């Protein structure tokens, strides 16, 4: 398992680095890790995280397409921007809905099939990750806030399950997310000043 975990970790680090740089390679490099983490998460009874990584895989394909779209002048259509009040309401409703669905599902799974599951923490990490990934495909600055929440929840979750490399990986991703947030805030500010 450690070899797969290391490959997934390296893929994820590379993907987050590309994301911070607003580079399209965020998606193909990330697909390797997301597919591996579906398998790793199922093996560790982290079904919410497995679902997240399946969602990442699907959203990576969508994000790859969305980031590549160009207008008639061959300029990218999607730009780094802040969420408005309406966007925030949608994000919070999305997060709450996903959290409730995952928590309820995991509670049932824990009760009958997997006593090692930790429903509230797994649902928190998963719902925040779903929200962050969805916003990343739209190049929203706030995606990084959701990634920070995801990483804060995932560090102890994976450590408790014995995945120390992955726990350390989420600690590194937390640091990278803080830098990503700062970088994207700066880019959004520069773009709005240029208009």
Residue 39 to residue 123: CA distance in whole angstroms: 18
**pLDDT category, 74, cuts 50, 70, 90?**
confident
- Contact between 163 and 40 under an 8 Å Cβ cutoff? The reply is yes
DSSP state of 74: S
DSSP helix, strand, coil percent of the chain (3-state; round to 5): 80, 0, 20
What's the pLDDT at 101?
A: 92
The pTM of this model reads: 0.85
What's the pLDDT at 46?
A: 74
pLDDT digits (tens, 9 = 90+) for 42-70: 888 777 678 878 988 999 999 999 999 88
pLDDT at 182 over 90: yes
- Residue-averaged pLDDT of the chain: 89
What's the pLDDT at 113?
A: 65
What's the pLDDT at 191?
A: 81
Domain boundaries, the chain: 2-69+80-194
pLDDT digits (tens, 9 = 90+) for 96-147: 999 999 888 887 776 666 666 677 888 899 899 999 999 999 999 999 999 9
Residue 22 to residue 35: CA distance in whole angstroms: 22
At 79, list the tokens: 């730009």
pLDDT at 33 over 80: yes
Q: Is 195 helix (H, G, I), strand (E, B) or coil?
A: coil
């Amino acid at each position: 398992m450690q070899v797969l975990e290391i490959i997934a970790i390296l893929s994820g680090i590379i993907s987050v680095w590309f994301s911070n740089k607003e580079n399209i390679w965020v998606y193909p490099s990330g697909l390797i890790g997301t597919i591996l983490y579906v398998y790793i998460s199922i093996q560790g009874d982290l079904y919410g995280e497995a679902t997240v990584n399946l969602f990442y895989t699907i959203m990576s394909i969508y994000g790859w397409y969305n980031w590549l779209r160009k207008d008639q002048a061959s300029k990218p259509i999607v730009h780094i921007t802040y969420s408005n009040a309406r966007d925030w309401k949608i994000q919070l409703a999305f997060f709450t809905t996903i959290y409730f669905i995952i928590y309820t599902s995991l509670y049932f799974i824990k009760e009958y099939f997997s006593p090692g599951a930790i429903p509230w923490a797994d649902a928190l990490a998963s719902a925040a990750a779903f929200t962050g990934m969805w916003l990343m495909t739209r190049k929203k600055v706030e995606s990084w806030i959701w990634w920070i929440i995801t990483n804060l929840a995932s560090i102890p979750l994976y450590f408790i399950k014995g995945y120390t490399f992955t726990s350390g990986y989420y600690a590194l991703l937390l640091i990278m997310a803080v830098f990503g947030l700062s970088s994207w805030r700066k880019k959004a500010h520069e773009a709005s000043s240029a208009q």
